[in-house]
Amino acid sequence: MYIEINNINKKIKDKNIFQDVSLSFEKGSINGVIGSNGSGKTMLFRALCGFIKLDSGKIQIDSKPVKFGERPPVPIGLILETPGFILNDTALNNLKYLAEINNSYDESYVLWLLDFFSLAEYKDKKVKSFSLGMKQKLGIIQAVMEHQELIILDEPTNGIDKKSILKFNELMNQLKVEGKTIIIASHNDYEIKELCDTITEIENGAINETKRL
C-alpha cells in the first residue's frame, strides 16, 4: 500500500484524538474521509503531514516513515482549512511565490489550471477582490500545481458552484490516471461518493468503517 497508517494513538488533555487508527490507501486512488464535526478528519490529515507528535503507532508513505516536524517523504499538495493568500497581491503572483518555495513553478501548468477553473481573466487581479469560491478554486490550484504525488484536501469544494465542482471532479480523475493519490475530507456524502474509490468514516477519532465503492 502507498500509505500505511498503523495503530496510531494521540491524546490531548484526556481527549482521544486518535484511538488505534489503522488505515491504508493505494497509489493512484481517490479516497474520501467523512465524519461529523470534530470527529478527527483534519487531525488525521495533520498527522499524515507530520504535524502531530503521535503517542504511539506509525505512518508510512511510499514505504518511508512520516516523522514529526520533518519534511514528508513525498511532496504533498495540501488544503487544510481555508487557504491563506496574500490578499494585496495578484492571483498569479500568489501561486508563483508558493511554487517558488520548492523551486517548482510550472507556469504553463498554472495558466492551464487557471483557465480550467475559469480564473484566467482574473489572474492579474488582487486576491482581495476574489469571492469565497474563487479563493477556494485558487486553493485547489495551489494544491496540485507542483505535480505533487499526494494530494490532501480538507473540504475543497466548500463554497464553490456546481459547475466548478464538476470541473474539480474532472481534475481529480485526471490526476488519479496520472498515478496521484488523493484524500479528500467532505461533509457532502453524496458528492464524495460520486468521486471516490474508497470512503472511510471516522467517529470520535476512531475508524468506524471503510467502504470500497
Chain residues that interact with ligand ATP, rule: CB under 6 A = 12, 17, 35, 37-43
d(CA 213, CA 208): 16
Pick 40 or 139: Cβ nearer ligand ATP: 40
Pick 118 or 188: Cβ nearer ligand ATP: 188
Shortest reach from residue 23's CB to ligand ATP, in Å:
14
Cell of 111: 495558466
Shortest reach from residue 204's CB to ligand ATP, in Å:
8
Contact (Cβ atoms closer than 8 angstroms) between residue 106 and residue 145: yes
- In degrees rounded to 5, what are phi and psi of residue 10? -155, 130
Enumerate the β-bridge partners of residue 182. Answer: 30, 151
Q: Could you tell me which residues come within 8 angstroms of residue 177 by beta carbon, excluding any fewer than 6 positions away?
A: 28
Pick 35 or 139: Cβ nearer ligand ATP: 35
From 208, 166, 212, 172, select the one nearest 34 (Cα to Cα): 208
Shortest reach from residue 39's CB to ligand ATP, in Å:
4
Contact (Cβ atoms closer than 8 angstroms) between residue 144 and residue 171: yes
Pick 94 or 198: Cβ nearer ligand ATP: 198
Pick 39 or 136: Cβ nearer ligand ATP: 39
Shortest reach from residue 74's CB to ligand ATP, in Å:
22
Q: Could you tell me which residues come within 8 angstroms of residue 13 by beta carbon, excluding any fewer than 6 positions away?
A: none
Shortest reach from residue 51's CB to ligand ATP, in Å:
10
